[in-house]
């Protein structure tokens, strides 16, 4: 019933704004964009329908309402960052197909150590690393059965009391979910909000955020938060009387043996994976020799190579088209919807008009503004999609930055990173939902552990963005530069 109400409320608000809202200083095409944004925000926040379906609304509403032409609107759905993610998805699907992700994870876990805290650390490092390159949902789904096998190993051991088994199970499940979200912060396509930020910045300011540039911003945050989360989970959130893990490494070694030796297809995927990562990191240096080289070109080269190289073990190619089309097209469409909104904000003057309404924030200290924004986005994404939230908020925050004369990156990066740090509820992120489905956790367990980690992540992001981001970027963030 509630979803039916919101399905009606979205278009009703659109028509009321479009026909009856006549603010001074805003042209009719800006009103049309504002009305469309209201409709999309209602459906995105309430999930009255699939968020990807909502992202298609600008294709209909912008031309009919006189906001943008059909050609300009649909062009945003073919933005180059969409193809960057498409190439990345092809690589991720190939990694999963050939079990390379499981081999990497098991090797990392076996290297880290055998005590309970080290086993948890191994899982967290492996999960975070894989989440840098493939979707955090796929990473969590892959790590879940490995984690359950380890938990079963502890349950079967006679020297461990029953409550120790239960506590360890909760600790490991939540550690996997948290590290999947944390790892995604590190790279440009580790989590969708990062790429939405890069796309909107390109659309609004014609500034390209390269893979290496985001890595310089995201990797320190990801590593720091992962280390703190590991300490928090093993020393504060859950306490165990035993420290040794009887039979833990033996179980990991058994799982490694079950994988067998690397197949030719797996080796090819590993080589392409490593080469792609190196090219993305070194791209700016390589542009001295190949000026046209771009992150999107590199990602698409990886995807197409996988689709054409033959496989000896399996009929066809390393990655065939039937497997490739399993990539999440809805996410790509949602990127397009976010880009369409950003273009509408900039082209119609809506960004300037909204920015003018926030001039009162000039009197709020920037350090406090950043904190309020991080807190707001962090808790908002506990109940809404982080991708939809960033697509909706970032064009507005760009306008706010101009009105209060601060660099947009300061608050846009705050919102982007905060959207990946919702740890409390099963609905907050797909990794949370996946581990909740294991049956080892209750809502109370997740809220109790996640609330404190939310607060920790808020404080870490606040410190990093306010005090360190300017140093990393190498230019001042206290004035609006555009």
CA-CA-CA-CA torsion sign (252, 258, 260, 265): negative
In this structure, are residues 394 and 197 in contact, taking their beta carbons and an 8 Å threshold?
yes
pLDDT digits (tens, 9 = 90+) for 439-462: 888 888 888 999 999 999 999 999
258 inside domain: yes
99 inside domain: yes
The pLDDT of 474-478, averaged and rounded, is: 82
Q: Distance (Å, rounded) from C-alpha 37 to C-alpha 357?
A: 17
194 inside domain: yes
Q: Distance (Å, rounded) from C-alpha 136 to C-alpha 393?
A: 22
Residue 355 scores a pLDDT above 80: no
Q: pLDDT value at position 156?
A: 56
Domain that holds residue 165: 80-324
Average confidence score pLDDT of the chain: 87
60 inside domain: no
Q: pLDDT value at position 218?
A: 95
Q: Distance (Å, rounded) from C-alpha 395 to C-alpha 16?
A: 22
54 inside domain: no
pLDDT digits (tens, 9 = 90+) for 137-167: 878 888 888 888 788 766 655 666 667 778 8
179 inside domain: yes
374 inside domain: no
- Dmax over CA atoms of the chain, in Å, equals 75
* DSSP secondary structure code for residue 263 in this structure: P
42 inside domain: no
In this structure, are residues 350 and 26 in contact, taking their beta carbons and an 8 Å threshold?
yes
Reference 452, options 417, 414, 431, 423; nearest CA is 423
Cβ count near 260 (within 10 Å):
10
Q: What is the pTM of this model?
A: 0.83
Q: What string of DSSP letters covers 434-472?
A: HHHTTSS--HHHHHHHHHHHHHHHHHHHHHIIIIIHHHH
Report the number of distinct structural domains present in the chain. 1
Q: Distance (Å, rounded) from C-alpha 77 to C-alpha 221?
A: 30
Q: Distance (Å, rounded) from C-alpha 70 to C-alpha 315?
A: 43
């Amino acid at each position: 019933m509630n979803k039916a109400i919101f399905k009606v409320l979205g278009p009703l608000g659109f028509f009321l704004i479009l026909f009856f809202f006549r603010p001074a200083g805003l042209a009719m095409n800006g009103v049309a964009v504002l009305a469309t944004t209201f409709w999309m925000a209602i459906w995105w926040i309430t999930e009255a329908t699939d968020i990807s379906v909502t992202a298609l609304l600008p294709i209909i509403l912008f031309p009919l309402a006189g906001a943008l032409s059909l050609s300009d609107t649909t062009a945003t759905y073919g933005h180059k960052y969409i193809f960057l993610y498409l190439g990345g998805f092809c690589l991720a699907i190939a990694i999963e197909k050939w079990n390379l992700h499981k081999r990497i994870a098991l090797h990392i876990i076996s290297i880290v150590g055998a005590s309970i805290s080290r086993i948890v650390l191994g899982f967290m490092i492996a999960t975070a690393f894989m989440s840098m390159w493939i979707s955090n949902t796929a990473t969590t789904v892959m790590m879940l059965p490995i984690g359950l096998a380890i938990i079963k190993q502890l349950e079967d051991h006679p020297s461990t009391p029953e409550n120790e088994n239960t506590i360890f199970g909760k600790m490991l499940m939540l550690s996997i979910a948290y590290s999947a979200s944390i790892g995604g912060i590190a790279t440009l396509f580790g989590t969708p909000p990062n790429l939405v930020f890069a796309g909107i910045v390109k659309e609004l300011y014609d500034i390209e955020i390269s893979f290496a540039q985001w890595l310089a911003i995201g990797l320190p945050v990801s590593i720091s938060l992962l280390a703190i989360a590991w300490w928090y989970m093993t020393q504060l959130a859950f306490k165990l009387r035993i420290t040794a893990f009887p039979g833990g490494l033996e179980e990991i070694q058994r799982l490694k043996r079950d994988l067998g030796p690397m197949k030719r297809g797996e080796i090819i995927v590993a080589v392409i994976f490593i080469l792609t990562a190196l090219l993305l990191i070194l791209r700016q240096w390589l542009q001295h020799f190949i000026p046209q080289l771009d992150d999107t070109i590199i990602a698409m080269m990886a995807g197409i190579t996988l689709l054409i190289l033959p496989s000896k073990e399996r009929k066809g190619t390393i990655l065939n088209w039937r497997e490739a089309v399993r990539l999440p097209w809805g996410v790509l469409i949602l990127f397009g919807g976010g880009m369409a909104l950003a273009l509408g904000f900039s082209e119609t003057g809506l960004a300037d008009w909204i920015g003018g309404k926030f001039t009162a924030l000039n009197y709020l200290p920037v350090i406090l503004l950043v904190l309020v924004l991080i807190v707001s986005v962090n808790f908002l994404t506990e109940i809404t999609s982080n991708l939809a939230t960033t697509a909706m908020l970032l064009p507005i925050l760009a306008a706010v930055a101009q009105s209060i004369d601060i660099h947009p990156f300061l608050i846009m990066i705050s919102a982007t990173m905060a959207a990946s740090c919702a740890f409390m509820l099963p609905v907050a992120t797909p990794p949370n939902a996946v581990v909740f489905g294991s049956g080892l956790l209750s809502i109370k367990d997740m809220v109790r552990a996640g609330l404190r980690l939310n607060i920790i992540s808020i404080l870490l992001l606040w410190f990093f963005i306010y005090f360190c981001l300017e140093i990393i970027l190498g230019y001042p963030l206290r004035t609006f530069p555009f």
